[in-house]
Amino acid sequence: MLYLLRDDFLGEERLTALRSSLGSADAQSLNTTTLDGQLLTLAELRAAAEALPFLGDRRLVVVRRLFGKPERADNGGDGAAARRGGRSDGEREQEFLTYFATIPSTTDLVLIEDRELNATHPVAKAISRLGGQVHLEAMPRWEELARWIEQRVRDKGGRIDQGAAHDLSALPIGDLRRLDSYLEVLVTYAAGQAITSAEVRLLVPQSHESNVFNLVDAVGARDRRAALEAYRRLLADNVSPVYLLVMLTRQVRLLLLTHEALGNREDVAAALKLHPRVAQKLAQQARNFGVERCLDAFQKLAAADQSIKTGDADEELALELLVIELTER
């Protein structure tokens, strides 16, 4: 069987499952060959793919970046290109694709390619025509990601509240490997109890960004007491004042983009490529933060940044004064 996988967390998960299907650890070791696709020749692939399984009925040949662009060596040479015998990428590509149709049934060939390769790529289409399996799915998003989180937690023997799963799906993590490591920590910390939003806020660094929404909400409502409480709560969570300055600046920028999207009658989530829940919060905040107020906030943010960088103000004090200024009525 022929497989085309993306070089990411989901691809590695599928590769692990294919290895496990070979049997014991010894059987996996004896019947798995991994090759560098950048340096691979057809003769080398043929030798690996046509070798008979040892004490088993199948073997696994894994080739990484066979169709990727050759990387130049540090010494200025181009070893990968040299081994391609002067052939163009297209010629080399077709040579391998032609051979794939003749691979023995006792060999599973797994191609691990860069994230840029998608299902519309000629290589992916050719492998599909050969009866191979193409798995080039992008990272799940929104509701799909929340369901993936819930299932992943169950696979780890834990439980998670639906609200906590949605909170995690809205965070700007962007990498399933990192997200999975956070889930491992959350499951261990919960110790059999259901993971809640409180644990997410406590243990996942990116959750601090969602807490900035609370600070901006309070500033938008000119609720100085709530804004200062939110700010001091973030400081108590060991969030750097400089980080908060950056996040507040980003938040004001998003509010300006939200105003632009609303003015053009666009869907905020689609226009800004954000989680619908995040977009909904931004639209709500935009009601209190008009364009003029956003521009004024930018000036105050820039002044606070300058005072910190020049040493004219302590970081925590500069941010506290900024919060007070932003909540003036």
The DSSP line for 137-185 is: PPPP-HHHHHHHHHHHHHHTT-EE-HHHHHHHHHSS---HHHHHHHHHH
Identify the pLDDT of residue 85: 55
DSSP state of 130: T
Q: Of 93, 119, 135, which marks where a domain is finished?
A: 135
State the CB neighbour count (10 A cutoff) for residue 275.
20
Range of the domain at 297: 207-326
* Shared domain check, 153 and 199: yes
Cβ 32 vs Cβ 59: under 8 Å = yes
* Shared domain check, 235 and 110: no
Identify the pLDDT of residue 115: 63
pLDDT digits (tens, 9 = 90+) for 161-193: 999 998 888 787 778 888 999 999 999 999 999
* Shared domain check, 158 and 69: no
Question: Could you tell me the pLDDT band of residue 77, with boundaries at 50, 70 and 90?
Answer: very low
pLDDT digits (tens, 9 = 90+) for 215-227: 887 887 888 998 8
Question: Could you tell me the pLDDT band of residue 194, with boundaries at 50, 70 and 90?
Answer: very high
Within 8 A by CB and 6+ apart from 72, the residues are 78
* Shared domain check, 165 and 131: no
For the domain that residue 42 is a member of, what is the CATH number? 3.40.50.300
* Shared domain check, 241 and 181: no
**Taking residues 19-43, what's their average pLDDT?**
93
The three-state secondary structure class of 47 is helix
* Shared domain check, 227 and 196: no
For the domain that residue 152 is a member of, what is the CATH number? 1.10.8.60
User: In whole angstroms, how far apart are CA 306 and each of 39, 212, 228, 243, 272?
Assistant: 51, 21, 21, 15, 29
* Shared domain check, 105 and 13: yes
Question: 135-140 long-range contacts, Cβ below 8 Å, gap at least 24?
Answer: 135/3, 135/4, 135/5, 135/6, 135/10, 135/11, 135/14, 136/4, 136/5, 136/6, 137/6, 137/10, 139/8, 139/10, 139/174, 139/175, 139/176
For the domain that residue 268 is a member of, what is the CATH number? 1.20.272.10
pLDDT at 52 over 80: yes
Identify the pLDDT of residue 32: 96
Average model confidence (pLDDT) across the chain: 87
Within 8 A by CB and 6+ apart from 26, the residues are none
* Shared domain check, 17 and 79: yes
Cβ 4 vs Cβ 111: under 8 Å = yes
DSSP state of 60: E
Identify the pLDDT of residue 282: 87
Question: Could you tell me the pLDDT band of residue 95, with boundaries at 50, 70 and 90?
Answer: very high
Identify the pLDDT of residue 208: 66
* Shared domain check, 150 and 71: no
pLDDT at 279 over 80: yes
Identify the pLDDT of residue 72: 54
Identify the pLDDT of residue 69: 64
Question: Could you tell me the pLDDT band of residue 284, with boundaries at 50, 70 and 90?
Answer: confident
State the pTM of this model: 0.61
More confident residue, 138 or 249: 249
pLDDT at 312 over 50: yes
More confident residue, 140 or 116: 140
Q: Of 91, 110, 135, which marks where a domain is finished?
A: 135
pLDDT at 18 over 90: yes
Identify the pLDDT of residue 87: 60
pLDDT at 60 over 80: yes
* Shared domain check, 236 and 297: yes
User: In whole angstroms, how far apart are CA 99 and each of 81, 105, 117, 171, 258?
Assistant: 20, 13, 21, 44, 52
Identify the pLDDT of residue 83: 55
Q: Total domain count for the chain?
A: 3
* Shared domain check, 275 and 191: no
Q: Of 203, 226, 255, which marks where a domain is finished?
A: 203
Identify the pLDDT of residue 270: 87
Would you state the structure tokens that stand for residue 312, as one six-digit string? 């004219």
Helix (H) or strand (E) segment spanning residue 255: helix 241-263
* Shared domain check, 121 and 29: yes
